[in-house]
A = this chain, B = another copy of it.
Amino acid sequence: MPIITLTTDFGLADGYVGTMQGVILSIAPKATLVDLSHQVPAQDIRAGAFVLYQAVPFFPPDSIHLVVVDPGVGSQRRAVAIRTSQGTFVAPDNGVLSYVLAATDDYEAVSLTNPAYQMPQISTTFHGRDIFSPAAAHLANGTPMSELGPQAINLVRLPLSTPEFSPGGGLTAHVMHVDHFGNLILDVTADALEEEITLELAGHRIQGMSRTFADVAPGKLVAYVGSSRDHVEIAVRDGDAAQELGVSVGDQVLIHRIQ
């Protein structure tokens, strides 16, 4: 049986995630469930997309990734399933699969409209339980995706964060994610950078890239190639860079070649 991963903004307090797991296991009792995150900030579609972006490459390609960050639940937004060479994704069509779609031109997608693969009663506010969980479970059982509904085209894609070339030379990158440690993940990858660079953010300057945290003294800023698809990251060794610099997602980082 394939793995089903779950990513939501539901938190862990109310039993909403466990309820989804009850629905899944009622349909596919032998599925292996993995929680990616249930602490996506409430209704933050981009943050949910980023969790997937980092995690999906480390799962077998027959895995099913269930994603419910869904501020438009009950409205006209579609519920979809998408299959690419990376995996199968079940989610609202609101851009939460933007990185998945950006990684490939070759995918199939359907709208989840067939009531035979939904809960008998559909609420207007908890499609995670009533539509997405049954769809993921039936796909795990081997139900062909085309059974779940008609082909879906023109899927919603959010503009992805990318660095810009500065008029005066250098690059303006952005913080695309702040993690649990307060480390700043930038939207620039290592291969886009020259060897000797300076990074500036929030009035601070970092000279050169290091290999890892421990290459600088405790409390010092450090830039390095992160663990996630070669994105550049900025941290404070043994500290919380986001908090100490007052930096958050979207903030700019100026990158210059050392002169």
Contacts and interface: CB of A to CB of B under 8 A. Distances in A.
B124 A58 contact: no
Interface stretch (A70-78, A150-158, A161-169, A246-254): A70-78
B26 A214 contact: no
Range class of the A interface residue count: 35 or more
Given A14-B179, A179-B14, A227-B125, A58 B212 contact: no
A10 interface: yes
Contacts of A125: 212-213, 224, 226-227, 233
Interface of A: 3, 5, 7, 10-19, 21-23, 25-26, 29, 32, 34-40, 42-43, 51-52, 54-55, 58-60, 63, 71-75, 123-126, 129-130, 177, 179-181, 211-215, 224-228, 233, 238, 240
Given A74-B214, A75-B214, A124-B212, 11 more contacts: A5-B18, A13-B40, A15-B51, A16-B54, A18-B35, A22-B59, A25-B60, A42-B180, A123-B226, A123-B227, A125-B212
